[in-house]
Amino acid sequence: MAEFVRLQRHGAIALIIVDNPPVNALSQPVRQGLQQAFQAADADPEVQAVALVCEGNTFIAGADIKEFGKPPQSPSLPEVIEVIEGARKPSVAVIHGTALGGGLEVALGCHYRIARKDAKVGLPEVKLGLLPGAGGTQRLPRLAGVAKALDMIVSGQPIGAAEALEHHIVDELFEGDLVEAGLAYAQRLIDEGRGPRRTGEQSAGLEGADNAELIAAKHAEVAKRMRGLFSPLRC
């Protein structure tokens, strides 16, 4: 297992800790470590739930910019998130600081999410001329609805934890110690018999609105308001 990711057992809970200062970027060793840790937890018959936390001042803040422009290295982030989402044991992402870009996509791959009250989440790829490439465009609207997901993806602006709770991106807010909060929530999942809740299989956020109309209206708005910009329209 990569040195930037540690797996600890706390009774029936597997605690997965990411420690890649300064911002826990998703470098290849981190991706590989996450993949191996979640696979190990899923294969352990004694583990009933998983909590994902990050050391330092922030949750995973996004991709590793040192890898930009270089040949891709396995595992890719979409591959890692497929392992996380497909696991048989329920998992909770414990968000603090910022969960941005690939960091939020990792959190969306987990089955549940809790956020410290001062945390922020977002998909800022558009500001780099990119779009979310690891499932964020598909998973976020399933939780937050198409209108909110469009606003976040096209603007690239992060939102606070309270707003993320309001739009069902996170399930609960907490204060205090990350590990304590993560272990407590994971234990509740066990005690309440809650299993995996895969974001990619959710549909509540897609119901009750004409999504094709929403997308068409947003496209027209962006074409007028952000004339000449490439990535917002592609998003």
Point out the residues that are catalytic.
105, 125
17: nearest Cα among 1, 28, 86: 1
Structure tokens at 144: 């937050």
Radius of gyration of the chain (CA): 17
> What SS3 class is residue 213?
helix
**Rounded to an integer, what distance in angstroms lies between the CA atom of residue 13 and that of residue 89?**
10
Place of tokens 């979640």: 38
71's enclosing H/E stretch is none
Whether 181 contacts 94, CB under 8 Å: yes
**Rounded to an integer, what distance in angstroms lies between the CA atom of residue 220 and that of residue 224?**
6
Region of residue 17 (phi > 0: left; psi between -120 and 50: alpha; otherwise: beta): beta
**Rounded to an integer, what distance in angstroms lies between the CA atom of residue 5 and that of residue 220?**
44
> What SS3 class is residue 115?
strand
**Rounded to an integer, what distance in angstroms lies between the CA atom of residue 128 and that of residue 194?**
38
